[in-house]
Structure 1
Amino acid sequence: MTLSDCPRVAEIRVRGWQSAYQGLMPRSYLDGLDVAAELPRRRAHFAQAAGKGVVNLVAESAGAVVGWACHGPYRGGEPRTQDAGDIEGAGDAELYAIYVDPDRIGRGVGRALLRASVQRCAAAGHDRMLLWVLRENAGARRFYERAGFTADGTEEPYEVEGVEVPEVRYARVLEDGVIPWGG
């Protein structure tokens, strides 16, 4: 991903939320999401990622960005570490985000992005990859389970406009970076 991809990534993220979380979050909240407001956040996050081990990836089709994923060091709780002195490759990685243009869902874009993130994290020496998914998002949960992730029993509260939408943590051991989808 480059800084010039941020406008399209902002659009994919907003449209992704509006599509994936329909019926799971208040409609007023989803309708209020705005690409113009999201763009400065994407640019700031992209700029802040430099030097912190955060990797932003985009998937392209015919030169157009059709998906985005972001991963890096695990951000929450008490991450496991192999050796406290081993900064590079120590401990767990986290998939922070993965979004596909809603018009491209089901065409392998998400699988390609997740595969690339898993492979990069395994190559960096991370033990596991963790991610958070809305508990009621059955489609996303199936997607991650097909990729070898399992719910580890950890849940976090999450609230949007007074509506509880708890998240479930998923984990996957990164022995070799291969995802069960193959290739």
Structure 2
Amino acid sequence: MVHVREMGAADVEAVSTIRVRGWQAAYAGIVPQAYLDAMTVEGDASQRRQWVSQPGRQSRDLVALGERGPVGWICFGPCRSEVPGPGRAGEVYALYVLPDLIGQGIGGRLLEEAHRLMRSQGFEVSALWVLSDNQRARRFYERSGYQADGAAQDDAYDEVTLTELRYRRGL
């Protein structure tokens, strides 16, 4: 059983571990290995400290706490791009769970709480971007009510271009 709460400054190192290990596990075979190998918890934590201390930041971060402390993390806020259709759109920017705990409902619990908080902030739609080759994540989001809406964008990782698909669902 996990408990979800707002991320605090003391959680930065744990969240960076979750994010880096999550990237390295989820994107192996998709993102170039050299890019994944170059990721460090220390580098991510340094960037994350700067990010969370930005004045006027509109995003929110939640952590899932298990017996080992933080075991999952989600970041969300206002949608960064125009989403067609009625309603104000929020966006899930990132969602990661420690790789050895994937499949235990932690990601779903984080997503449920993010959706609840987005609704309370007046968002009517949630959007997110997922790498087209990340079939596991795509299945997870589809089980959570998200559907690809036809939008795509390309991102480069060590000169390899990968396509992300936008998913969305009503809140």
1:149 and 2:146 correspond:
yes
> Which range moves more in the overlay, 21-30 or 119-128?
119-128
Residue 156 of structure 2 is matched in structure 1 by 159
Residue 79 of structure 2 is matched in structure 1 by 74
* Moved beyond 2 Å, runs of 4+: 50-53, 78-82
**Could you tell me how far apart the structure 2 residues matched to 1:52 and 1:161 are?**
29
Provide the secondary structure at the position in 2 that maps to 1:157.
strand
Residue 132 of structure 1 is matched in structure 2 by 129
Residue deviations 1:110-130 (CA, integer Å, cap 9, x gap): 010011111111122212000
Provide the secondary structure at the position in 2 that maps to 1:166.
strand
Residue 62 of structure 1 is matched in structure 2 by 67
Q: Is the 8 A contact 1:81 1:92 kept in 2?
A: no
Identity, % of aligned positions? 42
Which of 105, 108, 123 is residue 105 of structure 2 equivalent to? 108
Q: How does 1:24-103 map to 2 (within 5 A)?
A: 24-48=30-54, 51-62=56-67, 64-76=69-81, 78-79=82-83, 91-103=88-100
Which one has the largest radius of gyration? 1
Provide the secondary structure at the position in 2 that maps to 1:113.
helix
Q: Structure 1: where are the runs of 5+ without partners? A: 83-89, 175-183
1:51 deviation in Å?
A: 3.9
Query: Residue 101 of structure 2 aligns to which amino acid in structure 1?
Result: R
RMSD value, Cα: 1.6
**Could you tell me how far apart the structure 2 residues matched to 1:112 and 1:124 are?**
19
1:13 and 2:10 correspond:
no
Which of 160, 166, 171 is residue 169 of structure 1 equivalent to? 166
TM-score (norm: length of structure 2): 0.91
Provide the secondary structure at the position in 1 that maps to 2:80.
coil
